[in-house]
Amino acid sequence: MRPYEFTLWLAEDSRDLEEWSNVLYESGGDDGAAGETHGQPFVAFLCEAASLEDAIRSASDTVRAAGLTVLWCEIKQEHMAAWPIP
């Protein structure tokens, strides 16, 4: 298992940040930090997983379980440099 860091950007939600982030936490998203920038909701994850794909799938499943919709995944270049991606 290795740590993977990435951000899932979400569709706007009618709930406020505190409400949907609490639902996310209750759905198992304790490895993510919820936030908003310019009204765009996101969750920054630091996940331990066997692969990057497993980490993103697990985080996406957790977000969907909270009733949220993932629009895209962002991985910063400095985070990718630390991963042994074949």
> pLDDT-based confidence at 78, cuts 50/70/90?
confident
Which residues are CB-contacts of 76 (< 8 A; sequence separation ≥ 6)?
A: 5
CATH number for 2-80: choose from 3.30.70.980, 3.40.1080.10, 3.20.20.140, 3.60.15.10.
3.30.70.980
Q: At 7, list the tokens.
A: 């951000």
| pLDDT > 70? residue 82 | no
> Does the predicted model carry a pTM greater than 0.95?
no
Rounded distance between C-alpha atoms, residue 40 and residue 12, angstroms: 6
pLDDT digits (tens, 9 = 90+) for 12-60: 999 999 999 999 999 988 899 999 999 899 999 999 999 889 999 999 9
User: H or E segment at 41?
Assistant: strand 40-49
pLDDT of residue 76: 84
* Residue 80, CA distances (Å) to 8, 73, 84 in order: 15, 13, 8
Q: Where are the domains of the chain?
A: 2-80
